[in-house]
Amino acid sequence: MAYTPEMKELIKRVEATRPERVERVKQGIQFPKLSLEESQRRLKTYHPDYKEEGRREFKIGPNKGDGHSYPDEVVDLFEAKSRIDPEIVDLSKPDYETDVLIIGGGGAGTTASLFAQENGMKVIIATKLRHGDANTIMAEGGIQSADSTKDSPYYHYLDIIGGGHFTNKPELVKVLTLDAPLIIQWLESLGMNFDKTPDGEMRLLAGGGTCRKRMHSCGDVTGAEIMRTIRDEARNRRDDITVLEYQPAVEIILDEDGKAAGALLYNMETEEYTIVKAKAVIITTGGCGRLHIQGFATTNHYGATMDGIVMAYRCGVPHCFLYATQYHPTGAAYPEQNVGLLITEKMRTAGAQPVNIDGEEFTFPLEPRDVESANIIRECMDVGKGIPTPVGRIGVWLDTPMIDMLRGEGTVEHDFPAKYIQFKRYGIDISKEPLLVYPTLHYQNGGVEANEWGETKIPGLFVAGEVLGGIHGENRLMGNSLLDINVYGRRAGIRAAEYVKEGITLKKLTLEHVRAYHKELKEAGIETDRISPMLLPDYSNPEVRAKQLTARYFGTLR
Between 162 and 479, CB nearer to another protein: 162
Query: Least distance to another protein from the beta carbon of 266, Å?
Result: 11
Query: Least distance to another protein from the beta carbon of 218, Å?
Result: 8
Of 47, 55, 290, 348, which residue is the catalytic one?
348
Query: Least distance to another protein from the beta carbon of 472, Å?
Result: 15
Between 200 and 384, CB nearer to another protein: 200
CA dihedral 382, 383, 388, 394 (to 10 degrees): -50
Of 328, 442, 476, 495, which residue is the catalytic one?
328
Query: Least distance to another protein from the beta carbon of 320, Å?
Result: 19
Query: Least distance to another protein from the beta carbon of 487, Å?
Result: 13
The amino acid at 418:
A
Supply φ then ψ for residue 155, to 5 degrees. Answer: -75, -35
Is the distance from CB of 437 to CB of 333 less than 8 angstroms? yes
Q: Is 24 a catalytic residue?
A: no
Peptide bond into 533 cis (omega under 30): yes
Is the distance from CB of 207 to CB of 478 less than 8 angstroms? yes
Between 334 and 462, CB nearer to another protein: 334
For the four alpha carbons of 278, 281, 286 and 290, in that order, the dihedral sign comes to: positive
The rounded distance, in Å, linking the Cα atoms of 517 and 150 is 52
For the four alpha carbons of 549, 554, 557 and 558, in that order, the dihedral sign comes to: negative
78, burial (CB in 10 Å: exposed 0-12, middle 13-18, buried 19+): buried
Q: Chain-centre distance of CA 482, in angstroms?
A: 9
Of the chain, the end-to-end C-alpha distance in Å amounts to 34
Between 84 and 268, CB nearer to another protein: 268
Between 174 and 457, CB nearer to another protein: 174
Between 5 and 198, CB nearer to another protein: 198
Between 241 and 254, CB nearer to another protein: 241
The rounded distance, in Å, linking the Cα atoms of 273 and 71 is 31
The rounded distance, in Å, linking the Cα atoms of 547 and 301 is 29
- The 3-class secondary structure across 460-525, one letter per residue, is CEEECHHHECCCCCCCCCCCCHHHHHHHHHHHHHHHHHHHHHCCCCCCCEECHHHHHHHHHHHHCC
Query: Least distance to another protein from the beta carbon of 337, Å?
Result: 5
Q: Is 348 a catalytic residue?
A: yes
Query: Least distance to another protein from the beta carbon of 494, Å?
Result: 16
Between 24 and 68, CB nearer to another protein: 24
Is the distance from CB of 552 to CB of 558 less than 8 angstroms? yes
The rounded distance, in Å, linking the Cα atoms of 227 and 131 is 9
The rounded distance, in Å, linking the Cα atoms of 428 and 440 is 21
Beta-bridged to residue 216, according to DSSP, are 143
Query: Least distance to another protein from the beta carbon of 160, Å?
Result: 10
| Active site amino acids | 328, 348
